[in-house]
Structure 1
Amino acid sequence: MTSREPLWRDLPEGSAHGLFGADDVFGTLNRQTSATVLEAIAAASTGRVFSLNLSLTEPDPPLFQRQMPRHRVFTTPRGNLDDVLDNFYPQSSSQWDGFLHVPDPELGFYNGLGRDRHGVHHWAERGIVGRGVVLDISEALWAAGGADAFSSKTSVGVGALEAAREASGVEYRRGDILLLRTGWVAWYRGLDVEQRREVQSTRMAPGIEGSAEMAEYLWDNGFIAVASDAPGVEALPSGPGSIHQRVLARLGMPLGEMWWLDDLAADCVADGRHDCLVVSSPLNIPGGVGSPANAIAIR
């Protein structure tokens, strides 16, 4: 692997397949190096810690035909208590999309590898660590969608991300993890039961646009991953040429969804610094399609 990859415009068909090696299962996580991790650690200067995970019971009801986990506690023969989770969907709450989640219709799964070659266990064995860059695009979404911004397919483009970055005063570095706060979780928590069921049935949500320009922006700025508090990172429902196809399947860039970013974003505004150390430990599920985020931010 070279220290720098080709620009997105120089990637054949916008695909990084083969770039990191014919057998590569890490994609842009290859940008995570000892140097980038040490730079990320330097972003932790106050000791404040923020969980980026929703409860396993959120959202309620679960989206995308997933179901609520059933938790029970049993007593062992020695009198100890232990947990059992039944009906557990690892991607039902704050989560990572692994490379098996969405294939590209033409190129298949990331790097052209079959189902037996991928799995979140690869990511789990090394962990995901980087400097998190926190951008708040909630106002841009409100401007684009108005009162229906969060209940419809409202999208924003590269211009909105650049405006948020400039307002924050942060500069990207290779190896960063982009954290996009849309405000969707806070909005969802304010809904009643019937309104939440409507969200479940319509499967619509705001996010970034699924354009080639957006894929170029994410690749050329050197991110190792992108995470959002929205259900799909991109506006849903997605279609052909989606971010999941362009970025997850073609570029090999992990996508994090439904992360809890409000507390972190508020702290960034309070001290005027919009970066942090992000540490995530995916579950070591052999052949796993996705995983709970298990992510924290340290500032």
Structure 2
Amino acid sequence: MATKRWANRPEGSSWGDFGDDDQRGKMNLLTPEKVMQGVAEVKVGKAFMLSLPLDLPGGNVLNPRRYPPVLRPTLREGRPNMNVKLFDFNKDQTDVVSDDLVVMHLQYSTQWDSLAHVGSMFDANGDGIPEAVYYNGYRAGTDVVGPEKAEDAGYAGAGSQVSTSYAKALGIQNMAETCVQGRGVMIDLRANLGDARTNVGYDDMMRILEKDKVVIEKGDMVCLHTGFAQALIDMKGNPDGHKLENSYAALDGRDQKLLKWITDSGLVALIADNYAVEAHPATSHIGCCAILPLHEHCLFKQGIHLGEMFYLTELANWLRAHGRNRFLLTAPPLRLPGAVGSPSSAVATV
């Protein structure tokens, strides 16, 4: 039975619109009709990989808490399980096997934010006291839990079975189960604004959409090409933090008209090739507010998943050269129960 967990919902939010216990947010709008619209955009059968190599950006310049993945062999009878010749005393075996594991920070490279990634202090109870809550009123400490001790966080070592932090609600598996397939729409910010650092607001966005004849409809997945991910590839695992922080377009999360447009457009996911979709740090603001205002609006209020550091340059260039901006997008995250983020090996087909 559905149990409404909030008395107040944030202004301009979609809490309850898909049911009191909804954990999928705007992914509910990714209907079979939207899948067919995406399929209808396939004209030549050419596919584009939209994931960076998962060891990029390289190092931890972009985020000091996130590191490249570590590959290690599994153990076989106390020895590394790589290039092992299987042996049986009764037979001549020819098998040579290798088997490995990965230790991965799930939001290091091309990745999706789950709806448990960013919440807000908000008076959902209606008692005048803000509490830490996530989309649709799910609670920190009850629905999204974590350890108290530092030794239970961070890298615990290969093979560790420690599992003390996870999303009992809003985990990334809810997104994965929708299959995340439908019509993608490209907004080529780089082609219009170049590589200069630009905080893109509503007026800028409307000019670009009109100039490039981009139409976004309810249920579409919107991609923003800035050139940031191409720069990561060009830097070959040695990112220049100063250049990355001072170049390329990002959305102005403080622009209320832009946030309203995101809501009114009916888009179901917002994907960029940059680090956070929005400008970070955000533009200055007087009074209490979110440090990541677009994250708050999309993840916390609207239930719109954010995709970050998708590789979009080859796709964007091909679409522009062929006078197109729509394509079939298939971009599920890992079906990893309880995770608050996940890599995606997304594919676009044109």
Does TM, scored on the shorter chain, surpass 0.5? yes
Contact 1:204 1:237 in 2 (8 A): no
- Say which of 35, 38, 63 aligns to 1:37: 35
Mean CA deviation greater in 254-263 or 217-226: 217-226
Mean CA deviation greater in 19-28 or 55-64: 55-64
Q: 1:110 matched to which residue of 2?
A: 135
Is the aligned partner of 1:289 residue 2:340?
yes
Is the aligned partner of 1:228 residue 2:272?
yes
3-state SS of paired residue (1:126): coil
Q: 1:98 matched to which residue of 2?
A: 114
Q: 1:169 matched to which residue of 2?
A: 213
Structure 2 vs 1, CA of residues 250 and 189 (structure 1 numbering), >3 Å: closer, same or farther?
Answer: same
3-state SS of paired residue (1:19): coil
Structure 2 vs 1, CA of residues 199 and 67 (structure 1 numbering), >3 Å: closer, same or farther?
Answer: farther
| Structure whose residues are more often helix by fraction | 1
Structure with larger Rg = 2
Is the aligned partner of 1:280 residue 2:331?
yes
State the shift of 1:28 in Å: 0.5
State the shift of 1:77 in Å: 6.7
- Say which of 256, 261, 280 aligns to 1:217: 261
Point out where structure 2 has 5 or more consecutive residues left out of the alignment: 1-8, 74-80, 87-95, 125-132, 145-167, 284-288
State the shift of 1:176 in Å: 0.5
Contact 1:96 1:293 in 2 (8 A): yes
Point out where structure 1 has 5 or more consecutive residues left out of the alignment: 1-10
Q: 1:8 matched to which residue of 2?
A: none
Deviations 1:169-226, CA, capped at 9 Å, x for gaps: 23222110000001112334445887625569x7997410113222211111111101
Structure 2 vs 1, CA of residues 203 and 284 (structure 1 numbering), >3 Å: closer, same or farther?
Answer: farther
Hey, what's the Cα distance between the residues in 2 that align with 1:58 and 1:199? Answer: 16
Structure 2 vs 1, CA of residues 82 and 284 (structure 1 numbering), >3 Å: closer, same or farther?
Answer: same
- Say which of 15, 26, 29 aligns to 1:28: 26
Deviations 1:250-274, CA, capped at 9 Å, x for gaps: 1000000000000000110111011
Q: 2:310 matched to which residue of 1?
A: 259
TM normalised by structure 1 equals 0.85
Structure 2 vs 1, CA of residues 140 and 46 (structure 1 numbering), >3 Å: closer, same or farther?
Answer: closer
Deviations 1:65-105, CA, capped at 9 Å, x for gaps: 2011112343367331223212x111100000111111122
Structure 2 vs 1, CA of residues 237 and 181 (structure 1 numbering), >3 Å: closer, same or farther?
Answer: same
Hey, what's the Cα distance between the residues in 2 that align with 1:120 and 1:12? Answer: 23
Structure 2 vs 1, CA of residues 85 and 229 (structure 1 numbering), >3 Å: closer, same or farther?
Answer: same
Structure 2 vs 1, CA of residues 84 and 274 (structure 1 numbering), >3 Å: closer, same or farther?
Answer: same
State the shift of 1:238 in Å: 3.7
What RMSD over aligned residues (CA atoms) do the two structures have, in Å? 2.4
Indicate the percent of aligned positions where both proteins have the same amino acid.
32
Is the aligned partner of 1:268 residue 2:319?
yes
Structure 2 vs 1, CA of residues 232 and 166 (structure 1 numbering), >3 Å: closer, same or farther?
Answer: same
Deviations 1:136-179, CA, capped at 9 Å, x for gaps: 11255548xx4xx2xxxx41112222222222223222110000
Hey, what's the Cα distance between the residues in 2 that align with 1:203 and 1:99? Answer: 28
Mean CA deviation greater in 72-81 or 13-22: 72-81
Q: How does 1:242-257 map to 2 (within 5 A)?
A: 242-257=293-308
Is the aligned partner of 1:119 residue 2:162?
no
Q: Which amino acid aligns with 2:179?
A: G
Hey, what's the Cα distance between the residues in 2 that align with 1:98 and 1:12? Answer: 19
Q: How many equivalent pairs are there?
A: 279
Q: Which amino acid aligns with 1:51?
A: M
TM normalised by structure 2 equals 0.74
3-state SS of paired residue (1:135): strand
Hey, what's the Cα distance between the residues in 1 that align with 2:136 and 2:248? Answer: 29
Mean CA deviation greater in 190-199 or 97-106: 190-199
Structure 2 vs 1, CA of residues 41 and 77 (structure 1 numbering), >3 Å: closer, same or farther?
Answer: same
State the shift of 1:61 in Å: 1.9
- Say which of 161, 171, 181 aligns to 1:129: 181
Structure 2 vs 1, CA of residues 60 and 199 (structure 1 numbering), >3 Å: closer, same or farther?
Answer: farther
